Each structure stands twice: as structure tokens, then as C-alpha cells.
Structure 1
Amino acid sequence: MRLYPASVSAGRAWLILTLAACLGVSACSPGPVGDADGELVIGTLLPLTGDSSEPGLAARDAVNAQIVEIAAATEFDDTQVRLVHADVRTDGKLLAAAVEELIANNVDVVIGPPTHGQNSAVGQQLAATGTVIHLPLAESTSSQARMMADAVLADGHTALALVTGSSTATDAAAIFTERLSENGGSLLADVELGTTEEGRFDPEVAQIAAAPSTAIVLLGLADPQRFVDALTEAGVGPGTRTVYVVGNTHSVSPTPGLRLVEPAGSLADQVVDRLVIASLASAAAGTDDPSTVAAQLSSVVAGETACASFANCLKELRENQTVAFSATAANAFTSDGQPTQVPYRLVAFTPDGQVNEELTRIITSS
């Protein structure tokens, strides 16, 4: 295993760190992106600097440790695995540059980024290569919309306002409307923020204030705290209505009346899960060719034999051809490696800003 020093190019705000586990191959010589060259290159898009860097750094360290287990298994024959970490934050231009840097490092698989707002842009950028497998960390907003509609109904709310970010799935409102109507409820306001989410939110807040909802769901906002502040200023914030914030909750101040919703599994667990899945699929394929690896994703997540670690899964894979990897941060995966049935922690707060254990609970996406 070789660790290459981190490097930051002049004038660039992203960080590239590579870590390689060479299994049966003495040299680490990358080939063109998407080529089968004996090296499975897995890139990650994680927040490694800035306010949200703590979970990103923990995730980076976790996958670096996981690569040691993958190297120790020595079952890749002539295939080696190389990790490339790129730093991402909320700035769209920096995100695009980070993805380009991964592509320049000839990645076969990209894991991340952690947020919905970034997923769509990354997916489009990678699709242009025609070869790179994308394993996003954020679950689809459709699944989250179904989960949140059920959660607010369980809390006794039948009159709801929905606020979505510009990149949130367009069917979120339809899902809320259907779920609520089936249970005697109504979606009274459906607000989509602009592409930048900058400036004041006077028209959007006025629309919500005019609707007699008892709960407001903020889904996929880049900076939900700013919108919570705008709601509070208008007298329709957490002090008067229950406000559910889904995603990007790290910068949201704990307040009674707020419900913060984030995956129960840590970011580190989510990234390690994806790394194991990609590595197992490459082992099943017997190559690092992305199209062949992609075709084997289902064989490592949808088989009949359950397994919980890379080494055990690889052993079972050799004997049974397919396995069902038991991930830490998701209860199941689709055939193309996307997480489903993801447990989330819905956190409520006491008047002094502490976690209200009585109202805090685990909810699961569908």
C-alpha cells in the first residue's frame, strides 16, 4: 500500500489525496478513464475543509482504513484498487472542478457527494464521460418525500407546506399530495426556491404564511438555516409551526419546534459501504472495466447469502457467485447499488436546545 502526499494546486480550492492498495501488481500506472487497465480507481467527493469537514475527514480516514482490509484479502488477482479523495463544499464551481480532477485521475467509480443539491450536477458531469460508475451518498428525494409524508402524518399533521431546493426531485410535491390525501390531509403550499437560494425569501415566506399549515418540510435546501430564520422573522417559524429540515442540518441551530432529519448511519459508514460494494463488484467481474463492474453490482447486493465484511463477502462470493452485502448505513440496495430502506434519525429539541429523547425517533425511507 502506498500513500501519496496531499497536494493543493495554486489557485484551486479542492484537495486531491490518493491511496493505493496494489494487489498482485507492482506498479501503480493509471490508464485512461474507463479503461480496463488492472487498476480500479475509486474517487470520493467529500467535504474535507470548511465548516462541515469533520464528518468528511472521518469518512476519508474510514475508507483509507477499509482499503487495508481489501488489500489483505489479496483476491483481486492482478487488479489493484486506488482511492482518490477530492474536497467538495457547497460552491458549484468548486464541485465541478473537483469532479474534473477525479476524471483526470482516471476514476472508474465515484462515491458521493453527500448532498442532493450536488448529486444531480455530479451525475450529469460523469455521464458525459460515458464510462464512470456513480454511487451517490444522498438517497433520492422521492424516497425521502414518501418517508417525510408518513412522518408528519404520524406526528398528527395533516395540513402541510413543502419547500424544496432547486435541485430537488420534481415529483416530491406529487408524492406529498398523494400521501396526505390518502390520509385526509392536504399540501397547502408548494414552494420551490430559485437556483441560487440567495437574497431574501419574502415571496416564498409570504406564500407559506398565507397557508394555514401546522407543519413545514424543508427538503434538499442548500442552506436551510437561512430559510428557518426567514420563517421565524415572519412569525411562522419553529415557534409557531413544526419545521422539519431534511438534509444539510449541520449548520441548523437546535430550536424547539424544529425536527432535524439526517441518515442514522454516519457519513463514514455510508462511504465505506459504497467502497465495499464497488470493490466486491470488481472482484465478481474479474476486471476494473466500469461497464462490466456495473453489471455485477446486483450480484453483490441482491444475492441470497448475507455477509457483512469485504473479506467474508469475497469468500462467499467465490463459493456462491452472488451475495447480499449487509451494509451499515442502509438496509437494502437496488440492483444498481443505490441505497434503499435507509434509517434516518428524526431529532426534536427541548426549550434549552437539548435533544428531546421522548420525541426523537428513527424513521426509515421506502
Structure 2
Amino acid sequence: MKNSTKLVRLAAVAAASALVLAACGGGDDDKSSSDDKTSAAPAAKGDGTLTVGTLLPSTGDLAFLGPPEFAGVDLAVKDINEAGGVLGKPVAQSKADSGDGTPKIAPGSVDKLLAAKSDVIVGAASSSVSLSVIDKIIGAGVVQFSPANTSTAFDEYDDKGLYFRTAPSDVLQGAVLGNLVLQDGAKNVAILARQEAYGEALAENTKKTIEEQGGKVAETVLYAVDATSYTSEIQKIKDSGADAIIVIAFNETTKIIPGLEQAGIGPKQVPTYFVDGNTADYSKDFPKGTLQGVKATYPGAQLKDDFKARMLEIDPKLTDFTYGPESYDATILSALAAEAAKDDSGKSIASKIVEVSREGEKCTTFKDCVALLKDGQDIDYDGVSGPVDMNDSGSPSKATIGIFEYAADNTFKNTDYITGVVE
């Protein structure tokens, strides 16, 4: 996929002013036919039953994201089937663990999902895990639809028109995070990040925004994803003399924070910032007050109470809802695309996903949207995670980034939402 990401516009949801930033992405406006996601549907080749596979984390460093993501898919399938299913038949499911953070698990899980005749695979959460299996998935003619991939690596990936995501590229989160740090008064920032697709891309885009807005990134330190000690990396951060630290990490945050504290540059000493990969409930991991004042960003619109209640009906044990709405929307969009194409094969679905997400009659539920399709109307599905207007390369062209702050109990609450348009 090739995506020309030229401009990011940011605005606080509650504010009247807007901030316009230049942003980097793919620089190629010339899309080959294999990248065209708005073409006519191919001849019907499906088996008549839409099968949704889930490649989501039950284990691994992102396991905390698994429950809301699985619940989002399950709720979408429930809504679809209660509305009559897809092409007159109930949607089928097949589930597998992506083991995000440990790419060795995902390939075998993909084999299981393909053997179950999945037409769409929702996942993975981790960008690096998705990159490790994308060729296998698209090579089978199956749609890969991630609710949480944010790496800019997908902006230019040759995905044969079969990869989509409901989470925005890190061009947007990097712009929001970089501006947040500067608005808080930092002038000399250090970034500690995972050395893989997600960590490197988000670090690069955050650095770009900071420097374009007049700040300085004193040091960008990357660490191996399988590292067990972070002593040398933390020493580099300390030696930089930074007045703010951005930690782009997964569950290893539970080891990094004590290391920063031991070096005398913990959150109590230096303003610290997290991202979507490590914005989690740490109430059982750290003593009270450890993270108080830490700020964080992650993609996602404000979760409405009624949708939260519906997710809890699916999984009453949910305490975190991150990327649940995006998982729901990925599933609904796939089902609507199958209806629009009148076929459940992966290539047919891929040909209609962009079309059903924008520039038509607005609708917000599968039931209402499919009724419009059956009446011969073009539709514009607005989802629970936001408008989900897809650009021609299969990523949201408009999205929301939430800003959060940690309290003394090491849990986080929202303080603001920033909308962004990638042009």
C-alpha cells in the first residue's frame, strides 16, 4: 500500500483553535493497481459464509489489550447475526492468540485461522507481529484488518489491497504527543523506545513534531524487544540531561520505571509520558504515587456509556476497553463490505471496505446500514471508534487521540481528546 501523508491537522475537541503540522509518510502518490482499494468487486468466489478470524493477544506483552479486542469482535458478530447475518447466513468465527510482543506465536495461529476458512482476520494488535504475518495472510487472499496497528510501515506496504486498520497511523499520535510535551514546557526531550516497527515509527514521528515546533530531542535510545535489563539505555537517557522523558514501550514498562527511579530520573523527578503500548492499569505493579502525573496518549474516541455497557455484557470482567471499539468497527465494516460486494471472499470484501466507510448515506449500525445497501444506496458507516472514513490505502483519514493522566493509584483518566485529519 502506498499512502501520501502530507499534512496533519489537529484540534482539541473542546477548543476552537486548530493547529496545522507538516507530517511525513509515504511520498508516492502513484498507486499501482494492486494497491487500489476502491475498485469494482471481483467475481463472487466466497463459500457463502463470512468467517471472521481473530488474531489477538491472549498472551504476550500486549495481553492486556486482548480482552476488549476480543469483546469488540464478539459484540459485532452478535449484532450482525441478530440483524440477519451476512448474505442471509450467520457470521462464523475462529479465534487464535497472536502472542503480541513474541512474534513466534502468530504464524502458527494464522495457519489455524486460514484452515478455518477465515475471510477476514482481525488483528494483530502489535504492528511488528502484523508485519511478521501479513504476507501469509494476503497471500491467501484474505483481508487483514487490524484494530490497533499504528506503525507508518503500513503506509507504503505492498499489501495487494488487502490490509486495513481502524487505528490511525503514528503520524497522528506522534504529532499529538510531541505537541503535548512541548505545551507542558519541555525543551529538551529524551525518547526511550522499542527497537521494532511500532517503537521506531512512533519515536521518529514524535521527534519530528518536537523539532518542527522548536524543541530539541536530546537523545533517542532504542532497546531490543527481548531485553531483560535496561541499565545502559537508562544511563544514556540520564546523561542527556532531558527535562522530559517519553517511554514508548509495552509491558516492560514495569521494569523500565524502577530503573528510571533508581537512576534518579523517575516520574517524580522528570516529567514522563507514555503511549498506547504502555497505557495500562499499574495499580498492582507499583507503589502508590509512582506514576502520579505521568501523561499518556493513545488513539480512540471517547467511549460512550451505552457501548461500554454492551461490551461488559459480552465480558463482565473487562476493566480496560482500549481498542475494543476499533475491533467492533473493523468487524462491522468487513460485514458491510461483504454485503456491498454480494460475496464473502477476502478480495471482494477488500474491494468495498473503503466505499462503505465514506461518501454515502450516513448510518451507525449494521442493521440500518445493511437496509440501505439492500435499497441500492451507497453508505457511510460512522463507527463507535469515530467516523472511520478510510483513505484509499485503507487507514482512517480522520481519527481521535485521547490524552490521559495517571493518579496516585497508578490508574489513568482522560483529560482531553484531540481530533486529527491526515491529508
Of 381, 394, 411, 1:325 maps to 381
1:333 shift after superposition: 3.4
Residue 53 of structure 2 corresponds to residue 43 of structure 1: yes
Cross-structure match for 2:79:
69
Cross-structure match for 2:417:
362
Q: Which runs of 5+ in 1 are unaligned?
A: 1-33
TM-score, normalization by structure 1: 0.79
Residue 164 of structure 2 corresponds to residue 153 of structure 1: no
The 8 Å contact of residues 84 and 90 in structure 2, kept in 1 or not, is answered as no
CA RMSD between the two structures? 2.9
1:94 shift after superposition: 2.3
Distance 1:147 1:37, change over 3 A: same
Aligned residue runs from structure 1 range 138-149, under 5 A: 138=148, 139=150, 140-149=169-178
**What is the SS of the residue equivalent to 1:156?**
coil
Cross-structure match for 1:184:
214
**What is the SS of the residue equivalent to 2:105?**
helix
**What is the SS of the residue equivalent to 2:197?**
coil
Cross-structure match for 1:301:
357
Q: For each residue in 1:102-128, what CA deviation from the matched residue of structure 2 results, as whole angstroms up to 9, or x when unmatched? A: 12212111112223343322324424x
For residue 120 of structure 2, what is the amino acid of its counterpart?
Answer: V
Residue 131 of structure 2 corresponds to residue 120 of structure 1: yes
Cross-structure match for 1:20:
none
**What is the SS of the residue equivalent to 1:250?**
coil
The 8 Å contact of residues 55 and 95 in structure 2, kept in 1 or not, is answered as yes
For residue 280 of structure 1, what is the amino acid of its counterpart?
Answer: L
Residue 314 of structure 2 corresponds to residue 259 of structure 1: no
Distance 1:296 1:182, change over 3 A: same
Cross-structure match for 1:345:
402
Distance 1:363 1:259, change over 3 A: same
1:251 shift after superposition: 5.7
Identity score, percent: 23
Cross-structure match for 1:215:
244
**What is the SS of the residue equivalent to 2:51?**
strand
Of 80, 86, 91, 2:96 maps to 86
TM-score, normalization by structure 2: 0.69
For residue 363 of structure 1, what is the amino acid of its counterpart?
Answer: I
**What is the SS of the residue equivalent to 2:117?**
coil
Worse-matched range after superposition: 341-350 or 51-60: 51-60
CA distance in 2, matches of 1:319, 1:362: 37
Distance 1:232 1:168, change over 3 A: farther
Cross-structure match for 2:142:
132
Aligned residue runs from structure 1 range 165-244, under 5 A: 165-169=194-198, 170-196=200-226, 198-221=227-250, 223-244=252-273
1:256 shift after superposition: 1.9
CA distance in 2, matches of 1:202, 1:171: 23
For residue 255 of structure 1, what is the amino acid of its counterpart?
Answer: L
For residue 109 of structure 1, what is the amino acid of its counterpart?
Answer: V
The 8 Å contact of residues 301 and 332 in structure 1, kept in 2 or not, is answered as yes
Relative contact order higher in (CA < 8 Å, ≥ 6 apart): 2
CA distance in 2, matches of 1:40, 1:46: 19
Worse-matched range after superposition: 84-93 or 321-330: 84-93
Worse-matched range after superposition: 180-189 or 254-263: 254-263
